[in-house]
Structure 1
Amino acid sequence: MAYQQPHYQSQQPLPTMGMQVAGGNRNAAGKPLHSNGKRDWSHSLCGCMESCGTFCCACWCPCIVHGKNKQRLGHLMHNGQPDHDGGSCCSGSCWAHCCLSGLGLSWILQCSNRGTTRERYGIEGGGCGDCCASFCCGPCDLTQVSREIELEEKSFRQRY
């Protein structure tokens, strides 16, 4: 049996198209990235009055805003495009938030959704900050998350 020399590639492989991430622009406001690759929220937590309708709904019916946020974000993550219905008012997430509100624990669901949103958009922060924002000012948190999702949804309309 003869010994075979290993075959070595003499040329580098040709470049290929980079991997495309499904979805819209995840930094539509063009926020600068920090050295760790993360960025700030596109809108401040206290800037919730700039979206007065969402903020008012979050004050009086936070379960609806939470349910819509969760559904819109889930649709973007799983389908790579916005939910044409804008998220259902009466989803399971909405009812869970409503039930936990009676126990004063709805902020836990908001904290989880805020963390998911922060991860998707590469936003600076952590679980402790998510919990503080959700617990201390639920309507502001819901509005900020909604506005971040809305920026990605709007980026689709600008492309087409």
Structure 2
Amino acid sequence: MQVPMPMAQFPPAGAVPGQWTTGLCGCFEDPSNCVITCCCPCITFGQNAEIIDRGATSCGGGGLIYYLLAYFGVACLYSCSYRTKLRGLHSLQEDPCADCLVHWCCACCALCQEYRELKNRGFDPSVGKTSFEIKSRSPVCFFTYHISLAKLIWVKNLYYLLLLHVSQC
């Protein structure tokens, strides 16, 4: 039995409803995420997508799709749809411009902002959908967390094999 994941989180204290809790260019508010996103944006995208899709899209699956689309230069067409979903879930403004334009011009900044927004609303994208299950402390959720962790390790190894293969081409 899977624990339902809450999506209607209230903004943190002091935040204005309908507005982002951090700015688009506030990447250095979370330096570790900034570095990860600049080096490999597919990781941050996968983490965000898993939370936004309530676990329907896995971190590894979303990241791999992003990676393949980025290879052809069209990842922004995929990632902007998740920004739109995130805005819809939390009633955020389309700011500073259209979602696709934000991802086309500032993909890393947009992914970092979305990651920070999820964190500020009580989610932990680095853990994924299991971040809700861990809080409940039920044995089923504990088991689910370890299975998800095993999947993440498997996806990471698959990713390294893919990079090795691509580098040899």
TM-score tier (shorter): 0.5 to 0.7
Q: Secondary structure at the match of 1:46?
A: coil
CA distance in structure 1 between the aligned counterparts of 2:115 and 2:50, rounded to whole angstroms: 11
* AA of the residue aligned to 1:98: Y
Unpaired stretches in structure 2, ≥5 consecutive residues: 1-5, 125-131, 135-169
Point out the structure with the larger helix share: 2
Query: Sequence identity of aligned pairs in percent?
Result: 29
Deviation at 1:88, TM superposition (A): 6.0
Aligned pairs for 1:21-60 (under 5 A) are 22-23=6-7, 25-33=9-17, 39-60=18-39
CA distance in structure 2 between the aligned counterparts of 1:121 and 1:92, rounded to whole angstroms: 24
Normalization by structure 2: what TM-score? 0.62
Aligned residues: 123
CA distance in structure 1 between the aligned counterparts of 2:53 and 2:40, rounded to whole angstroms: 20
- Relative to structure 1, the CA distance from residue 69 to residue 29 in structure 2 (aligned partners, 3 Å threshold; closer, same or farther) is farther
Q: Secondary structure at the match of 1:26?
A: coil
Deviation at 1:153, TM superposition (A): 2.2
Normalization by structure 1: what TM-score? 0.66
- Relative to structure 1, the CA distance from residue 115 to residue 154 in structure 2 (aligned partners, 3 Å threshold; closer, same or farther) is closer
Deviation at 1:105, TM superposition (A): 0.5
- Relative to structure 1, the CA distance from residue 56 to residue 32 in structure 2 (aligned partners, 3 Å threshold; closer, same or farther) is same
Unpaired stretches in structure 1, ≥5 consecutive residues: 1-21, 34-38, 79-86
Contact 2:9 2:90 in 1 (8 A): no
- Greater Rg, structure 1 or structure 2? 1
Runs of 4+ in 1 over 6 A off after TM superposition: none
Of residues 145-154 and 134-143 in structure 1, the stretch that sits farther from structure 2 once superposed is 145-154
